[in-house]
Amino acid sequence: MDGTSQTDGAPSTDGAPSPESGASGAGTTGVYRVLARKYRPETFEELIGQAPMVRTLSNAFETGRIAQAWMLTGVRGVGKTTTARILARALNYEIPGKIDQPTIHMPEFGEHCAAIMEGRHVDVVEMDAASHTGIADIREIIEQVRYRPVSARYKVYIIDEVHMLSAAAFNGLLKTLEEPPEHVKFVFATTEIRKVPVTVLSRCQRFDLRRIDADLLVEHMAKIASAENVAVVPEALTLIARAAEGSARDSLSLLDQAIAHAGGSIRTEDVRDMLGLADRARVIDLFARLMAGDVAGALAELAGQYEVGADPAVVLIDLAEFVHLVTRLKFAADAVGGVAVTEEERRRGGEFAESLSVRVLSRAWQMLLKGIQEVQTAPKPLAAAEMVLVRLCYAADLPTPDEALKLLREGGPVPTRPATTTGSAASGPSAQATAAPPRADYSSAGRGGGDGRARLSLASERAAPDAMADLTAPEPLAATSAPQVAGIVLASLADVAELARTHRDLKLKDQVETLLHPVRFEPGRIEVELEPDAPSGLPGELGARLSDWTGTRWVVTVAREGGGATLRQRRDAERDRLLAEAKEDPNVAAILSAFPGAEIVGVRVTKPEPAAADPDAEPGDGETDDDAD
């Protein structure tokens, strides 16, 4: 929105911004004028960050292809109303004896320029649609457009926040907007373009005014600070530009506030205190502690930032911005530049980008986004922010879900944090390895769920076999004879479903699990019985996919009967068996009795730790004593 302007109608010659005519700080009237108004652009050349729109309008005016209506949209403070006034000035630009036609090149104030830019010209009507929403206001415009301008070339109607007009008002404007008199132009501005009817949009040339880049805002504020004789450090301007979020008006308002807060000379600490921001270096230190899993250090750092005035929600927002910066540095380091990123952020962010995986950064990003919402709505923001940091520390060295599944499939241990492990040891009797199905130990590892249901973590007493292994193969195949693809041995429908998952064909995986009853499985040939609602082309599609994935020919045939349970049915049966077994355990029965309304929602079977021999164990403690009498 804002840019350089002119003093007493004369253009600036040194490139630095100059205040509007008669708008100096104290002025002759003694009334202070805020920077956002004092340095408001008055020509297209002074607009910053809107080069595409300026280029389009320049070409249109030079070729005489001037539209009858324009729709300007964008977030607050990017220059919609200012652009509308400059358009009105360009349409009516006139210097007697020199220029008598519309032009975007306005090196000096013309006959109508001052009145137009100050919003007091009789032929340039500005209307706020937020307070003039009805059909009566539009009817007044419709009645006025028939009359020619009083003194200017065009009668220009500028309607701000046009999306606030009622449906009747929009409909009343349509005919005039489509075929206005030659001496009438319309300029609309809105922050909610989606609320404007498409019938209105189709009659206008639309320009989307962009958020202004932080580097441009910093450069712009530096020029204004110099014109105001205010000393300011570049990092302070960077903080203001970030807080403005692409709005020129917001950045100048914050600069105005910073000048008053600092008393003339603006330091980085002054801006941090004013905005409640944390030191960027301390934010990076906090991020390092989080990624190291240092809970105590992270909480102490947050407390230190809170004591000097940092808002807990702002701290989390800064952490999320740094996670985003690290992710960008990981993939597009060359695209990260400009004065908006400090050298320390670039250096330390690059170090984190080399050491942290995308999965870890994505997980931190998601946890921070959720945590920011929690802190903003929590009655005690500091406590909520501390809980978010604890979660981040706890998850720092945990595997991501796909890594955990991979470790489980490979039979390796899933890394955990011993310091945060709170589950008590199993209190049930030790079990002996037998050929019977694995029985789970329902001990004091249970935990109460937040919804009133007891969620029990159930550890098996011996190594649990693969619940789905060979369930679909009436005649198990030797591992050496079964084909192997991507580390998966194709010996059953379960292996086929896993292969489909690895190729991200989730629809086929679901069909294999729910619609196919296995009859026979052998290399290159699968015989199944179909569910009644199964697609008729499923066998052919499955054979074609397996042939493509394995590089060998697979044939899937259909039998009328003789099929076993589907993978889903066997999985459900196994779950029901474990739930029934859990209910029979006396420890679980005692827990359910102690917590009325509690229920078992799931059973998890894990591999037990190998029991170490106890030299002091007495006979009868779960081990046999061959030497006992």
Q: Residue 522 forms beta bridges with which residues? A: 525
**Which residues touch 181 (CB under 8 Å, ≥6 apart)?**
145, 146
Average pLDDT over residues 577-599: 81
How far apart (Å, rounded) are the C-alpha atoms in residues 593 and 606?
26
What is the model's pLDDT at position 575?
A: 86
Residue entry with tokens 């029985």: 439
Question: Do residues 222 and 236 make contact, with C-beta atoms less than 8 angstroms apart?
Answer: no
Lowest-pLDDT range of 276-280, 313-317, 446-450, 508-512: 446-450
Taking the complete model, does pTM exceed 0.85, yes or no? Answer: no
- CA dihedral defined by 426, 432, 435, 440, rounded to 10 degrees? -10
What is the model's pLDDT at position 559?
A: 86
Question: Do residues 123 and 150 make contact, with C-beta atoms less than 8 angstroms apart?
Answer: yes
DSSP 8-state class, residue 69: E
Q: What angle do CA 458, 459, 460 make, to 5 degrees?
A: 120
Q: Is the pLDDT of residue 488 over 70?
A: no
Q: Is the pLDDT of residue 459 over 60?
A: no
Q: Are strands 155-160 and 184-190 parallel, antiparallel or unpaired?
A: parallel
How far apart (Å, rounded) are the C-alpha atoms in residues 197 and 174?
10
Residue pLDDT, tens place only, 237-248: 888 988 888 889
Lowest-pLDDT range of 547-551, 571-575, 599-603: 599-603
Q: 61: which 2 tokens?
A: 């005016």
Average pLDDT over residues 40-59: 89
Residue pLDDT, tens place only, 378-419: 999 999 999 999 999 988 777 766 666 666 666 555 554 443
How far apart (Å, rounded) are the C-alpha atoms in residues 57 and 205?
10
Residue pLDDT, tens place only, 596-621: 777 887 777 766 555 555 545 444 44
Residue pLDDT, tens place only, 507-538: 888 888 888 989 888 888 899 888 888 888 88
Q: Is the pLDDT of residue 320 over 70?
A: yes
Q: What is the 3-state secondary structure (H, E, C) of 278-342?
A: CCHHHHHHHHHHHHCCCHHHHHHHHHHHHHCCCCHHHHHHHHHHHHHHHHHHHHCHHHCCCCCCC
What is the model's pLDDT at position 439?
A: 38
What is the model's pLDDT at position 574?
A: 86
Please tell me which residue, 221 or 579, carries the higher pLDDT value: 221
Residue pLDDT, tens place only, 147-179: 999 989 999 999 999 999 999 999 999 999 999
Q: 459: which 2 tokens?
A: 């550890």
Q: Are strands 516-522 and 525-530 parallel, antiparallel or unpaired?
A: antiparallel
DSSP 8-state class, residue 210: P
Structural domains of the chain ordered from first start: 50-208 (3.40.50.300), 280-396 (1.20.272.10), 484-564 (3.30.300)
User: pLDDT category, 483, cuts 50, 70, 90?
Assistant: low
